[in-house]
Amino acid sequence: MILAIIADALQIIIFPAFVEGALSPAEDVLDFGIAAILINLLGWHWEFLPSFLAKLVPGVDLVPFWTMAVANVYRKSKQIAVAEEEDRQPHPAVRAKIGGGDDAKVDPGTLGKTERNA
């Protein structure tokens, strides 16, 4: 995320001061480099393609597309992680059926003891 923020800050603050948008070789090199690094770090995501193409349009490159793309990838990865975690846990009706629901608390000190041994 920090890399995307730095790249967008460079393109918004520094490059427009002395170059002309998409015709700038420095901005193109920065965009290719950032795209390669982000794909290497995060893997391929479709969010990177519109960000890269938008950076080639003069004036549109002032929008922080790299930061938005990385934030969207992060948001999607969190949603996938939550969905996978929910898939691993059995449904509450199944837990109640097998006796493993939240209402079935067991005292660890009584495990293995019978009425006669207690």
Q: Would you place residue 18 in the very low, low, confident or very high pLDDT band (cuts 50, 70, 90)?
A: very low
| pLDDT at 33 > cutoff 50 | yes
| pLDDT at 103 > cutoff 70 | no
- For residues 6 and 88, the model is more confident at 6
DSSP 72: H
The dihedral region occupied by 112, where left means phi > 0, alpha psi between -120 and 50, and beta the remainder, is left
Q: Which two tokens stand for residue 64?
A: 């922080």
Q: What are phi and psi of 102, to 5 degrees?
A: -65, -25
49-89 per-position pLDDT tens digit: 888 888 777 777 778 888 888 899 999 888 888 888 877 77
Beta carbons of 90 and 50 less than 8 angstroms apart: no
Beta carbons of 1 and 70 less than 8 angstroms apart: yes
- For residues 18 and 59, the model is more confident at 59
